[in-house]
Amino acid sequence: MRTTVNQIRQMKEDSEKIVMLTAYDYSTARIIDKMGIPLILVGDSLGMVVLGYETTIPVTMDDMLHHTRAVVKGTEQAMVIGDMPFMTYHVSVEDAMRNAARFIQEAGAQAVKLEGGVTVAEKVRRVVESGIPVMGHIGLTPQSVNVLGGHRVQGRTSEAAVSLLEDARALEDAGVFAVVLESVPAPLASLITERIGVPTIGIGAGPRCDGQVQIINDLLGSFTDFVPRHAKQYAKLAEIMSAAIGEYYSEVRDGTFPTKKQSFSMDEGLLAELRAK
């Protein structure tokens, strides 16, 4: 039985911290799911950590559906949330509903995530009314990085802070089951968490959100282009991988791999016949 939106809402009511991670492939999703993580986000961050883009903007629906399908296949318990990419919900309500439905019908996700607050609230409402759970996302919204002037902390001025609180309330009124707060000052994130009735999931938003999300590649230390300030590396996987690959390279070059253990035998009589031909 997969995690439901009602269970996530109840976790806020019970003051139980909510844990969310990203995943982009089957094998990683299986590991995360078996660890009991209730929410897995197939983030458009795959554009940077998987596909090598400088931002999330080039990521397409086909990219997202492809990776979401793989994650869904690797999970049994977690709610899988598909991240709606740039310009798949911005133009019209019809676009938003059609593309959200593709995540559910074609990829098997249980929910979708949209960036934006007041400006997307009506689209969120219509998607929720159609039967698709929606997670909101405000603060630093990576799809708007060109407007924001880079990956900057949001909500540091009085006007910006009030705007974020209004965004959070608009999303709650529109029916989201949770809101991601990205790169928001911790005191403001705490205030938003107190003021809205749906769970907040922080990333670079301090410890008082109802839950936390991290990009799996940051957590494992497998993405080395840069390490965001909000991330903590619980492992140095890039170093482990480099050592293993280096050892493999050396053993192939010096002829010590493969050994008999990694090889297959055949009938000696048949081999003799082949040699005699």
Nearest to 15 by CA among 211, 202, 212: 211
Half-sphere exposure of residue 19, counting CA atoms within 13 Å on the CB side? Answer: 8
Half-sphere exposure of residue 256, counting CA atoms within 13 Å on the CB side? Answer: 6
Contacts of 190 (CB under 8 A, 6+ apart): 206, 208, 209
Contacts of 76 (CB under 8 A, 6+ apart): 2, 33
* Known catalytic residue at 247: no
| Cis amide linkage into residue 142, ω under 30° from 0 | no
DSSP classification of residue 234 = S
Whether the CB-CB separation of 137 and 116 falls below 8 Å is answered with yes
CA–CA separation, 80 vs 41, rounded Å? Answer: 6
Taking residue 190's Cβ as centre, other Cβ atoms within 10 Å add up to 19
From the candidates 182, 194, 247, 268, which is the catalytic residue? Answer: 182
Question: With the C-alpha atoms ordered 167, 168, 174, 178, is the resulting torsion angle positive or negative?
Answer: positive
Whether the CB-CB separation of 144 and 133 falls below 8 Å is answered with no
Mark out the alpha helices in 36-112 (DSSP H runs): 46-49, 61-73, 93-105
Taking residue 192's Cβ as centre, other Cβ atoms within 10 Å add up to 26
Residue positions annotated with a catalytic role: 182
